[in-house]
């Protein structure tokens, strides 16, 4: 049994804690956030929350592992930076993989979170601080850099390369043998069919909205 301190005190941290309650190997014993975000009560849920700057005074590195931060902040660089700082301060980081997900034959980096019904195929490699929300697919021989976030129903095909600190929105995808550079954002519903350079935003501009047309469309379609 490993005692875990979750980095965060928002909705995503609350969701993660809910999942960990059912994990027989991980026990949440508290939370931490940067001092500027500390709640006055010193509690989050039913557990203590302490300032990241002084976490050693409350949760020494030889007694707990850290998980997080689970945040969209600064396109994942915040999570990467706090992870690297925690390692310098002597902390190990836990990972969480939902039991319904399939990751056999893949390498999963430290401080990663994989929620329900995800697939990471054999010979894929996920860097440290990876987050796969529900129903994400990572294809065989694909390499993912550190601190990437994949929203629900995202699909990455085989033999792809994704740099560090990338964000993929829900229902987005990447076809076989393509690459996405570091610090990129792929918006929801966008399918990448050619390689994307570092620091780019990829989005699908095909969406059209016709206001006040739904009833006319329904009458024409349904009679």
Q: 27 - beta bridge partners?
A: 3
The DSSP line for 182-193 is TT-EE-TT-EE-
CATH architecture group of domain 96-223: 3 Solenoid (2.160)
Q: Residue 123 carries which DSSP code?
A: T
Please tell me the predicted confidence (pLDDT) of residue 49.
Answer: 98
| φ, ψ dihedrals at 169, nearest 5° | -75, 170
Please tell me the predicted confidence (pLDDT) of residue 182.
Answer: 95
Please tell me the predicted confidence (pLDDT) of residue 83.
Answer: 98
Please tell me the predicted confidence (pLDDT) of residue 71.
Answer: 80
Q: H-helix or E-strand containing 78?
A: helix 77-88
Confidence category of residue 140, pLDDT binned at 50, 70, 90: very high
Rounded Cα gap, residues 181 and 199, in angstroms: 7
Domain residue limits, the chain = 2-88, 96-223
Confidence category of residue 212, pLDDT binned at 50, 70, 90: confident
- pLDDT tens by residue, 69-104: 988 778 899 999 999 999 999 999 999 999 999 999
Residue-averaged pLDDT of the chain: 93
Least confident of 38-42, 93-97, 110-114: 38-42
Please tell me the predicted confidence (pLDDT) of residue 149.
Answer: 96
Q: Could you say which of 3.90.1170.30, 3.40.50.720, 3.20.20.70, 3.40.50.10800 is the CATH number of the domain covering 2-88?
A: 3.40.50.720
> By CB neighbour count within 10 A (0-12 exposed, 13-18 middle, 19+ buried), where does 200 fall?
middle
pLDDT over 80 at 185, yes or no: yes
Determine if the peptide bond prior to 185 is cis (ω within 30°). Answer: no
């Amino acid at each position: 049994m490993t005692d875990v301190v979750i980095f965060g005190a928002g909705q995503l941290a609350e969701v993660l804690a809910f999942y960990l309650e059912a994990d027989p190997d991980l026990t949440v014993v508290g939370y931490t956030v940067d001092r500027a975000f500390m709640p006055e009560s010193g509690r989050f849920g039913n557990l203590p929350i302490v300032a990241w700057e002084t976490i050693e005074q409350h949760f020494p590195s030889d007694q707990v592992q850290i998980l997080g931060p689970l945040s969209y902040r600064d396109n994942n660089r915040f999570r990467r930076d706090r992870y690297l700082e925690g390692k310098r301060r002597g902390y190990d980081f836990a990972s969480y993989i939902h039991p319904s997900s399939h990751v056999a034959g893949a390498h999963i980096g430290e401080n990663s979170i994989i929620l329900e019904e995800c697939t990471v195929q054999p010979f894929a490699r996920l860097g440290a601080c990876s987050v796969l929300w529900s129903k994400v697919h990572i294809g065989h021989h694909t390499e993912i850099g550190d601190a990437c976030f994949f929203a629900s129903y995202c699909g990455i095909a085989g033999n792809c390369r994704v740099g560090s600190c990338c964000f993929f929105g829900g229902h987005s995808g990447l076809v076989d043998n393509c690459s996405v550079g570091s610090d990129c954002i792929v918006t929801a519903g966008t399918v990448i069919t050619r390689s994307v350079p570092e620091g780019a935003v990829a989005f699908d501009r095909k969406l059209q909205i016709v206001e006040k047309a739904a009833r006319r469309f329904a009458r024409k379609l349904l009679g």
